[in-house]
Structure 1
Amino acid sequence: MDINGLSHAVLLDKNGGAKSLSYDEIQNYTKSMGLLWVHFDYSSKEAVDWITNRSGIDEVAVDALLTSETRPRTTILDNSILLALRGVNLNANSDPEDMISIRLYISKDLIVSTKKRDLLSVKDILNSFEKNRGPQNSSEFLIELTDRLTSRMEGTIDSLHDRASEIEEMIIESSNLFVRTEISKIRREAISLRRYLSPQKEAMHRLYSDKVSWLSEHDKVQLREITDQLIRYVEELDSINDKVTLIQEEILSKISEQMNQRMYVLSIISAIFLPLGFLTGLFGINVGGLPGTENKDAFMFFTVALSAMGVGLFYLLKRSKWI
């Protein structure tokens, strides 16, 4: 990115290619030059100055492009579209659920987008221009970007689904701390992704349901297909969340069952040793009159009696089907 906050500026040639422009060159841009796409870091002073004073767009769009906090949405401004979208974070050493936002103002003659972090989908479009396979107009750009943003979610969601399935298999054999930790991570990632994909689904729906003159019926059909794919991803996230919730309940059930079994064993042991403990305590008091205090064989008799009583109690519990 240049020090003036301009990530890139390209002038589309309507044949799949584009010409790169510098920050100084876009100062003199006019609509007669063709469709311009500028991509800024919204936190830079130069970006604020150009978008506010030189872009010529609506004040509502200016505020939306420069805001630091946003959620997926679509707003129709006259014959232009104001968009806020999110894409999965596929940058190195990043968490996919930490989704990256992009704000867009799209009209027939001008595209302004702002960001704080880089999106691979934007880089894909820039690379397509180099091969003369890029979008030729605003509607194609809108379809290309939303399609790439949505398609790149597939790998992340499939990975979540595979991890949930692996955990489901592991739970049959184990309920250790690693499994429970992994379940928490999967749930957190799925909830985080769904948090943004659900409103993004509504934003995509507005794109093809509202009237914009430069969006043809064919364009709206393509946007509808992209929205259907996004809806499928939201449903998949719901399915993943339901699956790991059931797995978590299964783990808690197994832990509860193990605890009940151990408490049952302790109860049986207590039932056997409670009367024996009572007798040993009774004969252990240091007062006069205890039987057998003068008999040297009394301890042996008492031990044999306690053992016989313990065996008898065990047999009684087993006969009563407590064991």
Structure 2
Amino acid sequence: MEQIETDATGGMDPLIFGRLLDGNGGSKPIGRTEVDNWKPSTPGEIMWLHLRRHAREVKPWLIEDLGISETTAELLVSDSTRPRALREGNALVATLRGINFNPDARPEDMISLQLWCDGVRLITLRKNPMQTPRDVLTMVDGGNGPRDAGGLIAEIVEQLVTRMNQTIVDMNAQIDELEAMDIEDNYERILPKITAIRRNCLALKRHMSPQHEALERISRDAPEWFDIDDRREIGESIARLQRYLDDIDISKESAVVLQDELRARSVASSEHATYMLTIVAGIFLPLGFLTGLMGINVGGMPGVNNPDAFWFVVAICATLLFVLLFLFKRWNWL
């Protein structure tokens, strides 16, 4: 878990990291005191700030020091995290989501990433720790990062989408493992896992479908500083996301088929048990009637004084049993 820094007043520091991209793939750090009055010192220089959106000072900082409108600042710090994108003059505003890889997190617990960019400044905001911005940061610090703001956004989008693949691969591997198990012997273990997979598929589809629409909006309506190559990269991410959505549908259908087979076998097993109990009852019902009749305690019962009468009754019961078994077998009841 990422360590939470505090500012001089003891509050949560809104700035996680800041970088100045030099336009050639490299970067250098920028501190909070240098941010407010920053202007590009060389052509192609870009400022990237990664902020904690739940910090108390974020919204006033966005409005008063970074010059972002109050409406947009409200959107950037909002807890409404449904993926979307819009153009505001020369700026791009978007809310995207990524898989939550934090400890004890479930795949459907996705993390939102808000971003604002005017082609010179990029501001990204998150509430929970995310690996994607850190991966992109490693690229730019290593001199292998994007060369413009559009490329930086495209790289962040690509990392967010690519990370979804591992979750889908893991779910497919789980389904393959469940299909290889003996359903009848592992019923109690398999059913909860199938339910969890279906729940994950539904949650991922619910979050990723709006993200697909948001990325299409970026590709279509982004400002002019978002050049053709950047749009092409976003298009590749959209195509990859669509493939993942298709894979989620396949995983969900596979889980449904497996669950239906599990239920069908369970019902068949119950019906077979009921059938066998009915056969047993059908066999022992006449035997029970005969022995009950012979056991009534009234005068005139035949064989009361005959020591061989018991074995005679046993012979009758055995004969009746074999006759019933023969008839049930002939009628294909057994």
* 1:293-312 matched pairs, under 5 angstroms: 293-312=304-323
> SS of the counterpart of 2:19?
strand
Matches of 1:145 and 1:253, distance apart in 2? 45
**Corresponding residue for residue 25 of structure 1:** 34
- For normalisation by structure 2, the TM-score amounts to 0.90
Shift of 1:221: 1.8
Matches of 1:67 and 1:25, distance apart in 2? 26
Task: Choose the corresponding residue for 2:146, options 131, 135, 139.
Answer: 135
Matches of 1:170 and 1:79, distance apart in 2? 56
Task: Choose the corresponding residue for 1:78, options 89, 110, 117.
Answer: 89
- AA aligned to 1:122 is P
* 1:1-323 matched pairs, under 5 angstroms: 1-3=4-6, 4-30=13-39, 34-171=45-182, 174-323=185-334
Matches of 1:288 and 1:74, distance apart in 2? 97
Shift of 1:173: 7.1
Please, which moves more after superposition, 48-57 or 87-96? 87-96
Contact 2:154 2:234 in 1 (8 A): yes
Matches of 1:118 and 1:38, distance apart in 2? 15
- AA aligned to 2:20 is L
> SS of the counterpart of 1:36?
strand
> SS of the counterpart of 1:90?
coil
Alignment deviations for residues 124-146 of structure 1 (CA, whole Å, 9 cap, x no partner): 11111211111222101111100
- AA aligned to 2:332 is K
| Structure 1 residues 27 and 188: alpha-carbon distance in aligned structure 2, compared to 1, 3 A threshold | same
Percent identity (aligned): 33
Please, which moves more after superposition, 10-19 or 144-153? 10-19
Q: Which stretches in structure 2 are left out of the alignment for 5+ residues?
A: 7-12
Contact 2:98 2:110 in 1 (8 A): yes
Shift of 1:291: 2.5
Matches of 1:99 and 1:316, distance apart in 2? 64
Matches of 1:206 and 1:171, distance apart in 2? 47
Please, which moves more after superposition, 210-219 or 224-233? 210-219
Contact 1:171 1:251 in 2 (8 A): no
- For normalisation by structure 1, the TM-score amounts to 0.93
> SS of the counterpart of 2:116?
strand
Matches of 1:290 and 1:204, distance apart in 2? 93
Shift of 1:298: 2.1
Please, which moves more after superposition, 268-277 or 43-52? 43-52
How many residues were matched structurally? 323
Contact 2:19 2:49 in 1 (8 A): yes
Q: CA RMSD in A?
A: 1.9
**Corresponding residue for residue 9 of structure 2:** none
Matches of 1:131 and 1:31, distance apart in 2? 21
Contact 1:171 1:179 in 2 (8 A): no
- AA aligned to 1:2 is E
Shift of 1:69: 3.0
Matches of 2:168 and 2:266, distance apart in 1? 29
> SS of the counterpart of 1:205?
helix
- AA aligned to 2:195 is S
Q: Which stretches in structure 1 are left out of the alignment for 5+ residues?
A: none
> SS of the counterpart of 1:187?
helix
Please, which moves more after superposition, 88-97 or 178-187? 88-97
Matches of 1:200 and 1:16, distance apart in 2? 27
Shift of 1:211: 4.8
